[in-house]
Chain A
Amino acid sequence: MNTLLILPIIVPAITGMLALLARNYPTVQRGLSVLGAIVMFGVGGGLVYQVQSHGILAVQMGNWPAPFGITLVVDYFSAGLVAVSGFVALAVAVYALAGIDETRERFGFHILFHLLIMGINGAFITGDLFNMYVWFEVLLISSFVLLVLGNDREQLDGAVKYVGINLVSSAAFLTAIGLLYGLTGTLNLADLSQSMAPVREAGLGPAIAMLFLIGFGIKAGLFPLYYWLPASYHTPPAPIAAIFAGLLTKVGIYSLIRIFTLLFPNPDGYTQAVLLVVAGATMLLGVFGALVQRHILRLLAFLVISAMGYVVMGLGFLTTLGLAGAIFYVFQDVPVKTTLFLIGGLMERETGTTNISKMGGLYEHRPLLATMFIVPAFSLAGFPPFPGFWGKLTLLQAGVQQEQWVLVAVALVVGLLTLLAVAQVWGRAFWRPKEGELPTMEALNARFLMNGPVGVLALALFVLGCYAEPVFSFAHKAAAHLTDTGPYVQAVLGG
């Protein structure tokens, strides 16, 4: 039994519980939080190493043989995501030491943060559909409470929309699970992928696929189900918004890719056409929304949506190259979005306003912040030395291979529009001279705690852009396992 596989769930659970016990000792709690995140990052690295040396790993909980028990599976895709989420969780945990006010800390920020990570990791590594639903609820309830933590009026307003639509999305997911169970009699993903024949015979394949698309599409913020995202993501403090933007949408997209490649590898009917249309519309409308925003975090929230379109485009092609591009894009998008939101928080703090038209002078007075902003911003727009470029290039190659010229054109135009949106932020907030003085600098300690993690994230992204090959070949192997599900099924069911 490979104990490493259960650690991504156990470690945040234990950290969260210890942090709960230490709630009257803020210093201890903070130490535990960072320590737990460090261990999580280590576990993620260990998983990547194990998967590379042993192939797909699976473990049966309680030694009940699959498909009767609950299975945890880690393949290239999920191992990479666990490692990346450990990395950004560590960065956010350090940033939050200075970026979260004392009230929110007292009401359990660190505890909820680790429980959220537990839910995210659980959804990444589970091999069972109903289990995935349960992990989704674990991460949802933690994110609900994180979103309203502090009880600002804005936060409550955003949470009403976020909570409402996520309850509907869970219902859609649960309906799809119920229908699948009734038709096949199993909920184990590997087992399901081999026993989809009754579903095809009943002609319910596209219907169930659409239910999954609605359920996960809401969580991933896809067109036309994305309106809750820019309504809620900008309301909590920057570290919470950063972890939401970095990881929550990625859980939706991960589940979408996992389910569609395992259960609907040869889509019949309209499924694939719907995916391609959704991809194009998500990209376009996300970036159009960003162009007219002046609230820095809302602008970034619209760019989160736009990036999801690229990933769905790779899924829509359903080729190894397209999936490799999508997976690489997800891997780099997690740190990109986290970094952007953390920088957005820093910009608010340095200028004392959320409106980019009223910011200014940041390049003159905070050159380091401006330098750090360039990396994720240009990666988002797809500039060559930055990792976003390689993801987009692969996706475009896959699009050309499939001769999906409209979507390729949309992707190129959206890249340019993204650059325009980012350049607006740059021109208004960084280059324009500031009328009046910037607020005084805070204590050096707090500045270091907040700028340090952002710097590390930006540096990691830059290095990833320059040496993309190892990560890209990793993503390519992940995609190969998604198009050829044989090894996955064999690892879970044995034989």
Chain B
Amino acid sequence: MTSHARFLAAVAGALLLAACQSGPATTAAGDTASVDDGTTITMWTRSPTATFSQTLIDAYNASHRNKVKLTVFPADSYQQKVGTAAGARQLPDLLAADVVYAPNYAAKGLFLDVTARVNQLPFKGTLAAAHVKAATFEGKHYAVPHDIDLSALFYNKVLFTRAGLDPAKPPSTMDEVVAAARKVTALGGDVKGYFFGGACPGCQLFTSWPMIWASGGTVLNEQGTAATLDNPQAAQVYALLRRMYTEGLVPASAKNESGPTWTQSFLDGKIGIQPMGATALQGIKEGPDLQVGVAPIPGLKGGSSSFVGGDVLGVGSTSAHAAAAWDFIAWTLTDQAQVDVVAKSKNITVRADLADNTYARQDPRLGVFNRLASQGRTPISVNFGKTFNDTTGPWTATVLDAVFGSGDVGATLKQHNAAVTESLASGS
């Protein structure tokens, strides 16, 4: 072939590639290699996981020749960023994904098939089951658990004491939550009893769905193809949130809190009770204004539940350093990384056999989290992102109307339920 013809062939190939995208990469499915040869590996994660990932990466980089470089994207634009990069075949070597998106990413071929590599892990059976299930597509493994984040009730013991509440006795029903929030709000100043991210659809589902589950209600059907929000328990939960807001137990700014700063007021010691993610504990600086207690999120009349979220970690399907990337992934799951890095920095281990470690025994809060990890739920749906996390999606309008609207809460949920179902069932 002359150089001219080769050039033409290259151009034609490039055009073909642009005009007709190729399907998921399936190469190296049986490959089990992992290398530590000084490769620089790129990794992407979303902002809420940044601290967690960086802690692991620092420990890995200090003890290995490979170097992992982390890029962090804002949580609400991560999905778009990953989709665009996948279209341009520029995914990073290591791709972390919100566990609720994992089924979609696996189905779309964003992750490299790591079935053979996962099967080689001696502790495969102890990996967080909900995460493994979410990252499995057609019997193949595409990612492993990275961090477990689950929702729990955080409360400020300092404010509890000042308000005459027992800091050792967190509320165990939603009615008790409201009563405690009233007492804390009564302290006055800029202290309020309760907080939620009113304009943040992801925060709202993360913290309010466990209340519905703990009360015996449901949100989605088993397959994740239809919404079941039109139940009396959901109506009571959102009526209760609405009452707390209209009564002034929640700062007015909560209505427009779209996520990035939704834990700030609590961290500043100005909020009595707030349900939020367990990973927040790692970054909390306790002081004279803030002593943190944690408790399970209760239902209306008792019980408890949790939204088990977090991230899975896989190899980008277009990565040229799959073996080096797997070296990092496999290391993050070892006893050493899970106990001396993850548990030590107050996080939940992704391996059930390591849940009872020295650090968890020292901090009773980690004990609460570990218990919740086995009780909580992870809703799975291919259309989760565009239905629930998108600010223009049907769930955002539902929760805004339910919490801040003026119509009957039950009727509002019933009215929106159809739109949510339609979005869940539409083509992927």
- The answer to whether A and B come from one shared complex is no
Q: Interface residues, chain B, CB within 8 Å of chain A? A: none
Q: Interface residues, chain A, CB within 8 Å of chain B? A: none
